[in-house]
């Protein structure tokens, strides 16, 4: 438990707390600067200036131009606008390539288009949870309108070879989109290095509020709006801007840019301490998405994963039972409960992990406020919970 009596929070991939710097950036637009950014008077112009400042901050983190950033209500809306917006205007191209391990915010728009007659190809992943660019080479065709593959897998933290996939797509005149919600603010995410045409951000994954996000749209890429109304955000996202939250997203991006490498290294070191502690105490603990044999002899997670994420299958127990026996830790499992029965994570099963192992999975994700003391306490709690649940010691 923390000093406040709450569990140790190891679920930063689900959502992050607001950073104090972000709160400070938002407060003026929740209090005195309440104007509508579309208004011509001073109240509106102050609000508009905040939106444009945030646009510059987001663009600076991604290495793009401010006019290539559109603000949305979050990553889900950004994904829908990218995927459905491209297909709405595609002429003679009615094919999408995606991966088998996408977030529902990508899966569902693809399914919606599929029901309307669009063909969707879902690329398989290996035991490391990654798509192979060579596999994509065989499936991106002349009639492929869009390839959409996430940058970092939200359950396992596995990083996709998006830059290589972009090369494959562009060879065939295909646009490429990446859902970067789990990556932005954790690893270097520069649109030109990735070669992407569209990229989605969710504010609440990088210490900004829930309910705000952004979509990078490369100059020259045409989209149809998903929502219709007034002409906000170049006519692609109507509705009066959520000024305070947009200001918060801008501040969060500036904060991330200031210490990205140092903070990633700090979290990676803590993650590895957690892995070392757990793998030394729990024989057969499996690191999902590593693609290599796990165990005490293989101490460091694969480099092609987020620096803050471990997805571990605890042998002989279900992840849900383990977390129930460890109230000192707040974390997630990938399983779902239907009619009283648990089903394993679709992401893990797509990686070839058997159902029993997948049901034992727990995702542990660290963040800016995770400390070494918390890691040590969490490791002790999880080991104790595993032993008690297994009836050992």
In this predicted structure, what is the pLDDT of residue 64? 98
The catalytic residue among 64, 110, 253, 337 is 337
Structural domain includes residue 371: yes
Q: Are residues 79 and 205 in the same domain?
A: yes
Report the SS3 class of residue 178. strand
Short-list 53, 31, 35, CA closest to 44: 35
Cα R_g (the chain), whole angstroms: 21
Q: Are residues 91 and 215 in the same domain?
A: yes
Q: How far apart are CA 24 and CA 39, in angstroms?
A: 24
Structural domain includes residue 57: yes
- By CB atoms closer than 10 A (0-12, 13-18, 19+), residue 393 is exposed
How far, in Å, are 154, 191, 330 from residue 333 at the CA level? 12, 31, 10
Tens digits of residue pLDDT in 292-309: 544 434 445 666 899 999
Q: Are residues 171 and 304 in the same domain?
A: no
Q: How far apart are CA 292 and CA 289, in angstroms?
A: 8
In this predicted structure, what is the pLDDT of residue 10? 98
Helix (H) or strand (E) holding 1: none
Indicate the number of domains in the chain: 2
In this predicted structure, what is the pLDDT of residue 92? 86
Tens digits of residue pLDDT in 174-226: 999 999 999 999 999 999 999 999 999 999 999 999 999 999 999 999 999 99
- By CB atoms closer than 10 A (0-12, 13-18, 19+), residue 41 is exposed
Q: Are residues 247 and 265 in the same domain?
A: no
| Positions in the chain short of pLDDT 50 | 293-299, 338, 393
337 among known catalytic residues:
yes
In this predicted structure, what is the pLDDT of residue 341? 66
Short-list 193, 237, 196, CA closest to 213: 237
Query: Where a domain ends, among 230, 256, 282?
Result: 256
Domain of residue 220: give its range: 20-256
Structural domain includes residue 3: no
Q: Is the dihedral of CA 167, 172, 173, 175 positive or negative?
A: negative
């Amino acid at each position: 438990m923390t000093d406040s009596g709450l569990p140790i929070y190891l679920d930063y991939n689900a959502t992050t707390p607001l950073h104090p710097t972000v709160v400070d950036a938002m407060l003026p637009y929740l209090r005195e600067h309440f104007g509508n950014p579309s208004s011509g008077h001073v109240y509106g112009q102050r609000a508009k200036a905040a939106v444009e400042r945030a646009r510059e901050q987001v663009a600076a983190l991604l290495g793009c131009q401010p006019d290539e950033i559109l603000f949305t209500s979050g990553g889900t809306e950004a994904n829908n606008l990218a995927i459905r917006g491209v297909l709405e205007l595609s002429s003679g191209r009615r094919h999408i390539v995606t991966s088998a391990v996408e977030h529902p915010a990508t899966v569902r728009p693809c399914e919606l288009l599929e029901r309307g007659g669009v063909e969707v190809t879902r690329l398989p992943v290996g035991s490391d949870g990654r798509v192979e660019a060579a596999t994509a080479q065989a499936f991106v065709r002349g009639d492929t309108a869009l390839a959409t593959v996430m940058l970092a897998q939200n359950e396992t933290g596995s990083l996709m070879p998006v830059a290589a996939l972009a090369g494959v797509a562009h060879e065939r005149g295909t646009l490429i989109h990446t859902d970067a919600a789990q990556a932005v603010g954790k690893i270097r995410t520069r649109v030109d290095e990735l070669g992407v045409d569209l990229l989605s951000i969710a504010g609440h994954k990088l210490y900004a509020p829930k309910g705000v996000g952004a979509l990078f749209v490369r100059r020259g890429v045409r989209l149809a709006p998903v929502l219709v109304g007034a002409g906000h955000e170049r006519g692609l996202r109507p509705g009066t801007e959520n000024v305070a939250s947009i200001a918060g997203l801008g501040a969060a991006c500036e904060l991330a840019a200031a210490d990205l490498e140092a903070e990633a290294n700090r979290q990676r070191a803590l993650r590895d301490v957690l892995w070392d502690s757990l793998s030394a105490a729990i024989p057969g603990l499996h690191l999902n998405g590593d693609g290599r044999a796990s165990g005490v002899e293989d101490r460091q997670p694969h480099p092609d994963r987020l620096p803050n994420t471990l997805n571990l299958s605890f042998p002989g127990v279900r992840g849900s039972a383990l977390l129930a026996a460890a109230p000192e830790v707040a974390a997630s499992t990938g399983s779902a409960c239907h009619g009283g029965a648990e089903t394993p994570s679709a992401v893990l099963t797509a990686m070839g992990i058997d159902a029993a192992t997948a049901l034992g999975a727990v995702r542990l994700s660290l963040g800016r406020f995770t400390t070494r003391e918390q890691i040590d306490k969490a490791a002790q709690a999880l080991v104790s919970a595993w032993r008690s649940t297994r009836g050992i010691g």
